[in-house]
Every structure is written in C-alpha cells, then in structure tokens.
Structure 1
C-alpha cells in the first residue's frame, strides 16, 4: 500500500515539473518565427522597340481563276491529252472531239461560196451587157432592173456563204479544246470514247489557276481604318500561316477590300494575292492570316508570357529595387515575336517577372535572376 502511494506522488511531481517547464516565463521573450525564404524569379527588362502592327484574320484559299472544261459542240470525245492533277500551260490541247462532221460542214460551206460567187460573176456580166444595150435602146429598162436585182441577190448569197464559213470554222475549232490559262487539272468526269454535248451538265474536267493564287479572309470592321491607312503608305503585306497559326507559309499582297461590311457578323472581307510557285497554298484550304498594317514606333514591350489576366483586367509583376514583387495593371497593344506592347502601365527599364507567377503576392520578397528558373515557370497561371 505504501509503495502505491509513493509511486503516485512521484508521477504527480513529474507532471507538475513538466507543466512548469512548459509555461512561459514572464521574464523571457518569445522566440520569433523564421522569415520566409525569398522566391527566385526570372526577370526581363521592359524595352523600347519598333513593333509591326499585325492584324489577325481567318480565311480560305481560292483559285485565282477557275473554269470548267466543257464541250461547245456535240460529238465523240476522241482524245483526252491530260492526266488528272497535271499542270498545263495556256494553249495546251486538253481534248479533241471527232472533227470529221464539222470539217465536212466547212467544206460544204466553202463549196457553196464558190458556186454563188460564180453565179454572181455571171449575173454581173449580164447586167453590164444589158446596161450597154440599154444605152443604145436595144434592151429595156425592165431587163436592166431585173438583172440588177439578181446581182444584189447574188451578193447577199455570197455574204451569207461567208458567214456560214465563219460559223463552220468556229464549230470546227471547238472540236479542239485548249487551256485558257496556266493551271492545274482536277479529277476528270468524262473519258475518251464518250459522247459529249454542248448542253451537258457534266463537264470534262476543271482547271484552276494556282500561281498566282488568292486568299479571301475577314477582319473585324473596327480594323478597317488601320488597313486603309496602311494602303495609303504603299502595298500592304499579308502573311498566310499554317493550320496552327504558328509558322508562315507564304507572303503576299492585299489586292481587294470588299465594298461593304457584313452587318450580321461585323466583319469585312478582303482578298490577298500570293505567288504560289512552291504550291504552299491549295484552293479550298483553311488559312489564318496576318496583315501588316504598319509599325508602332518606340513602343514599350515585355515578353507576352509576363502579361497576366486577373479579375480586374491585365497586369504584370514587376521587381522593385527593394527586391519586392509589385502588381501593376497594364493596357496592351499588338503582339509580335512573343513580345507584347504595353500601352500603359509599365515603362522602359522596368524589371518584369516572367516566372513563378503563381507564388507571388504583392510585396513578397523575391530573388531576381537574369535567366528563367527551369521547370517552375507558371506564366499561364493567374
């Protein structure tokens, strides 16, 4: 019994000692919490430069010219001188329709002309003799009048024969189908041996001019003044991009601004012309475009990755001389080469933070570095 009482007293004394040690002494100051470590960030100075004003649009490639190769006369398609997808030159013979009937019609018209010319020559001689006899009163005026009318009819027949010859020559020429311009042949719908007619709905093939080539695109109507102002300074360059809108594939010139704005969409259509010797563009192809609408001189720019979007708009983080992070609201202009124009907010020389945005808070201590911090760049986060 005595041992149990003694053990209890010992435990009580130990607990009291522990509580006493844990209680802060009124004469001893509390220990300060360790200061948080400075956040390593990459900084880039805002710089002043000339920035091209690039307007983004979306369009589709169109053939510069397009024509459906059709027959203009009836007959058998004797030969097809092209292969599908072939590049042809202006004047190349593409197809031949059986010309025999049309050649025979031409020969007949020529023969008729010869016949009527011979008859006209005979009538003219008769008229000439009758006029001479009439002056000597050996022929009546009625005979002269009849021969005069006969000569006039003969001359009209000759004119009709000449017109018939021109018609026959034209129809015969239609039996040889030639390319009206340089271009590329599409997939053929009619093959040699088939009967073709002038009123057929089906065409033999389609020819498209692909060099030069056109690109029709749209821009917001608010951009129209910029484009028209750029036109006053000279030809306006248009850059066609790949499907990802990252790499340029062709460079051309703005050729046409449509004569009206589409009130439904608030956009306006424009057309650019491109040299296409390397077949970089293809008719019907979707293509993002950039229109070079001038240059903004002495603009303050920062890396596009530094521009963040928050509830109150756009902003950038700036490293202060005291090595603190400062949030600055900005107004931006056009972007080019991964840099964005700052119209308002930042000034030349400001150290703009381009990494670790998600860890920053206004006034937090930072450790600026000249190069980006690997694997910690969170520029896309806000």
Structure 2
C-alpha cells in the first residue's frame, strides 16, 4: 500500500509541472516579448545632459614669473655704545618705532664731563700764557733796534709765541675730542626703524662690544628672490623696455595677497653656478607693515602683457592620457573632446589657451563628468537652471517607467 501512494505522488507532481509549463509557454508578454521590450529600451533616446557653457573670450593677459622670496629690512642696525660706562637708562620701548636722532640709552657721563672740563681749563691756561708771550715779544721788538736786547733772545721770544699757539690748537682739539666722547654717553638712533628686544639692562657696565638693541627699517622694505637663469633675458628685456616692473607678494598658499605695490629694484650682476639662478631685489612701501623681516612669501613678477589672449575658465580644462582637453560644444548641441594647450594661468580661476580653440567657441565648464564624445547636451549660461519638465514630458516619463516595471 505504501508503494502505491509513492507512485501516485510522483505522477501528480509530473502532471502539475506539465500544466505550469504549458501556461508559461502561452502567457502574453512572456519570454517571447522580453527581447522586444529590451530592444525598445535600448532604442529610447536619452534626454540631453544639462551643462554650463562659456564662450572663449579674448583679453589682455599679464605674464608673470613666480618664485619663493624672503623679506629683508631695508636697513638693519645693531646699536652698540661707543664709550664704556655704567648704563643709567634705556629711552625706548621694545617693539615700538624709534626716530632718527632719538636718544636710546644714557651712559654715566660724569667721567667724560670731567675730562671735557679739564680740556677747557687747559685751554684757558695756555691762552693766558700765549697772551703773556705775545706781550713780551711785542716789547722786545721795540727794544731790539736800540740794542737793548740780543737778537738771540728776540728769536727765543718769537719761538715761544709759536709754541704756545701750537699748544692752544692742541688744546682745542682735545676739547673737541672730549666733547665727542661726552656726546657718546647719549646713544642716538641712526635711522627711523623698529626697536627689537633689548640686549642689556640699566645698571650694567657696557662696553663698545655690548649690543643695546637692533633696529630694523621697515618703510620701505625689500623682498629678495631667485629666478632660473633661463628667465634672465626675459627679465632684462622687460626692465630695459621702459617703466618699472611690478612685483606682488602673496602668502604661502597663494590665496592671500599681502602686497601688490612692489617694484623691481636690482638684478644681480652674476648667476649662481651652484644653483643656476640669479638674485633679484624688489622694494615695497610696506605702509601697513604687511611684510616682516625674515618672512617667506611667494613672489609674482609681471614681465609683460599678452594682448588679445584667448581665455577660458580653468575648470573647463580636463586632464587626459594624451594631455589637456575641453568639451567643445558643436552646432547640433553635441560635444566633442578638443585637445588644447594651456599657455598661461590667469589669476586663480582662468587660463590662457595657446592653441586648440578660437574666439567665440563655447566650452563646457560644469557637468563634464556626465559627458562622452557625441553626447547630446542642453547648453546653459553660468548660473542658469534647466527649465522645468512639461506635463507631456512627465507623462511620457511615467509611461516609460510603467512599461519598464511590467517588463520585469
């Protein structure tokens, strides 16, 4: 009995499978309709890709040479005493500006004042002696012709007057020297500049080797930089063409302009054989102290201006295995890959094209990631949005989506 039921179960399963197979073979839109549907999906035309396009413009383009530069004070002076003595006071504030002729420090003047007073007293003494010698010589000259005084004594009196006149000149020189030494007890600023950190404290004994403070002149200020030797002829020709070459100083990442009112002052007279570069010195007014001695900056030297260069936004240029290219808009609103040669960067957001494009042609600046050669596009101006879809387009999209779902 058990064997009979097993055979019956197998027969029932076979019959069920046969019925299911027949129904699948005759089902509308079944496997026979699948290829047709797939072919219909492939045959549907894709909608145009919205992209931003910009025409190639013609404008004057400045040509720059860039380098890493170092800010250098126009003048740097280490202020040291010219006489030794006890430092009484400092007359400046660290980190603050000082003026030329301003008293920076006061050294004890008493020893030098005494030496000056002694020199003045010695002068007065020798002046009195000279007056006596002149009077004696004058009287002797009157007595000489009468035979009351020997000629030898008269010569001696004349020589005494000459000696005292020389002594008087020496006294005057010693007075000037003592006066200079006394003046050195006031340490004077030789330049307009900014005071650094003091090197001595009041109360200490300073000598001529002591450093009181370092002064730096910041207005104007220099920026030193190096360029490769292959740029030498370009820079020399530009500097000899008339007018000063302008220089700009930027921050480390070139995003912050520190100063753009510098001018090129000096081209060094030799090339460094070890580095193959030559030095240049530029000068900035530095009115707001935007540049600081020892600071590293990126230097941008303008050497010339290209008239009527072809300029496009930098984001339009793509990098490919064969070089730079852009997506160029065609008259039928399709795009093609156009190889280009970038000749010069124009600021941070544009480039000048050396070859590959013509004025007025339109290039894609946004939406390139969705494109391939021959793609149909909807060209938009910068900032323009694509139009909203019409009711017919929405209905068509819904129907297309419904057919797709039924096909699955």
Q: 1:366 aligns with which of 374, 377, 394?
A: 377
Comparing 239-248 and 40-49, the one that deviates more? 239-248
User: Secondary structure of 2:202's partner?
Assistant: coil
Pairing 1:355–2:366 present: yes
State whether residues 355 and 372 of structure 1, in contact with CA within 8 Å, keep that contact through their aligned partners in structure 2: no
Separation of aligned partners in 2, 1:47 and 1:8: 78
Report how far residue 222 of structure 1 moved: 2.9
Separation of aligned partners in 2, 1:30 and 1:290: 60
State whether residues 312 and 352 of structure 2, in contact with CA within 8 Å, keep that contact through their aligned partners in structure 1: yes
User: Secondary structure of 1:354's partner?
Assistant: strand
Q: Which runs of 5+ in 2 are unaligned?
A: 1-6, 386-408
User: Secondary structure of 1:165's partner?
Assistant: helix
Comparing 363-372 and 157-166, the one that deviates more? 363-372
Comparing 51-60 and 90-99, the one that deviates more? 51-60
- 1:260 equivalent in structure 2: 270
Separation of aligned partners in 2, 1:208 and 1:219: 27
Kindly provide the CA deviation profile for residues 140-196 of structure 1, in whole angstroms up to 9, marking residues without a partner as x. Answer: 333233333333322221222111111111111111112222211111121211111
Separation of aligned partners in 1, 2:8 and 2:213: 119
Separation of aligned partners in 2, 1:81 and 1:369: 69
Q: 1:334 aligns with which of 333, 344, 362?
A: 344
- 2:17 equivalent in structure 1: 11
User: Secondary structure of 1:299's partner?
Assistant: strand
Sort the Cα spacing of 1:52 and 1:78 in 2 relative to 1 into closer, same or farther, 3 A.
same
Report how far residue 339 of structure 1 moved: 1.4
> Which runs of structure 2 are paired with 1:113-124 in the superposition (5 Å)?
113-124=123-134
State whether residues 354 and 372 of structure 1, in contact with CA within 8 Å, keep that contact through their aligned partners in structure 2: no
> Which runs of structure 2 are paired with 1:116-265 in the superposition (5 Å)?
116-200=126-210, 203-231=211-239, 232-250=241-259, 251-265=261-275
Q: 1:343 aligns with which of 354, 370, 379?
A: 354
Comparing 1-10 and 271-280, the one that deviates more? 1-10
State whether residues 355 and 373 of structure 1, in contact with CA within 8 Å, keep that contact through their aligned partners in structure 2: no
Separation of aligned partners in 2, 1:265 and 1:183: 34
Sort the Cα spacing of 1:177 and 1:3 in 2 relative to 1 into closer, same or farther, 3 A.
closer
User: Secondary structure of 2:190's partner?
Assistant: coil
Kindly provide the CA deviation profile for residues 19-64 of structure 1, in whole angstroms up to 9, marking residues without a partner as x. Answer: 7974799xx8982524455433221111001122222222121111
CA RMSD, aligned part only? 2.8
Report how far residue 7 of structure 1 moved: 4.9
State whether residues 38 and 366 of structure 1, in contact with CA within 8 Å, keep that contact through their aligned partners in structure 2: yes
- 1:85 equivalent in structure 2: 95
Sort the Cα spacing of 1:156 and 1:63 in 2 relative to 1 into closer, same or farther, 3 A.
same
Rg larger in structure: 2
- 2:104 equivalent in structure 1: 94
Kindly provide the CA deviation profile for residues 297-327 of structure 1, in whole angstroms up to 9, marking residues without a partner as x. Answer: 1110011122233333322221222333322
> Which runs of structure 2 are paired with 1:54-69 in the superposition (5 Å)?
54-69=64-79
Sort the Cα spacing of 1:128 and 1:3 in 2 relative to 1 into closer, same or farther, 3 A.
closer
Q: 2:305 aligns with which of 280, 291, 295?
A: 295
Please, what TM-score do these two structures have when normalized by structure 1?
0.87
Separation of aligned partners in 1, 2:9 and 2:108: 133
Separation of aligned partners in 2, 1:263 and 1:112: 63
Between Structure 1 and Structure 2, which shows a larger proportion of helix residues? 2
User: Secondary structure of 2:127's partner?
Assistant: helix
- 2:49 equivalent in structure 1: 39
Pairing 1:281–2:287 present: no
Comparing 34-43 and 83-92, the one that deviates more? 34-43
Number of equivalenced pairs: 371
Comparing 159-168 and 237-246, the one that deviates more? 237-246
Report how far residue 373 of structure 1 moved: 8.9
Sort the Cα spacing of 1:55 and 1:61 in 2 relative to 1 into closer, same or farther, 3 A.
same
Separation of aligned partners in 1, 2:145 and 2:318: 111
Kindly provide the CA deviation profile for residues 65-114 of structure 1, in whole angstroms up to 9, marking residues without a partner as x. Answer: 11112111011111211111111222221111111111111111111112
Separation of aligned partners in 1, 2:150 and 2:323: 109
User: Secondary structure of 1:315's partner?
Assistant: strand
Q: Which runs of 5+ in 1 are unaligned?
A: 375-382
